[in-house]
Amino acid sequence: MGSTTLADVAGEAGLSQGIVNLHFESKDNLLRETLRCLADEYRAKFDRTLEKSGPGAADKLLALMEMDFRPAICDRRKIAVWFAFWGEVQSRPTYRKICDESDQYYDDVVEEICADLISEGKYDHVSAASVSLALTSMTNGLWLSCLISPKSFDRHKAMDAVRSYLSNVFPKHFQQ
């Protein structure tokens, strides 16, 4: 991202540099809008997945986890862009704000679903916040595997790992 210029972007997109300058005015604006577009796209798919999933908390959680490994989400090019932005979050407050809002929404929904599962299954020893954090960390780690080891990454095996974790945490709701 650091060495990319608006001219590079215009050339790659097959547009004139003037049209790119007109719409974005600066590289910073272009990058910020790119991140917003990625975050909005993910949120729309996330919300649609929740709406279409089964009525139970287990159905919802499994549908969200499966969504994270579908080709439209678990795409090396998109993942590379996400990781590039995450690498810039420390020095770019605007990126941090966009990522934090997106992550907070996702974390809140997943944690609420986990809390419902804990209540339904009477899993007294389980923390919804801990399970939500573990699932997010697992997904991010598996996305990193997809990015750096594309030949050995298998989205079905990734989902099997998630299912294995869920069956250990919520054995009444998920079978191995």
All structural domains of the chain, each given as residue ranges with its CATH number in brackets, are 28-169 (1.10.357.10)
Across all residues in the chain, what is the average pLDDT? 88
pLDDT in tens, 81-137: 888 888 887 888 888 888 889 999 999 999 999 999 999 999 999 999 999 999 999
Per-residue pLDDT at 37: 87
Say what the pLDDT of residue 123 is. Answer: 96
The string over 125-156, giving b where at least 16 C-beta atoms fall within 10 Å of a residue's C-beta and e elsewhere, is eeebeebbebbbebbeebbebbbeeeeebebe
Q: What is the mean pLDDT of residues 129-147?
A: 96
pLDDT at residue 25 is higher than 70: no
- Residue 158: HSE in the Cβ half-sphere, 13 Å Cα cutoff: 25
Percent of the chain whose pLDDT exceeds 90: 64
The reported pTM is 0.85
Nearest to 96 by CA among 143, 32, 139: 32
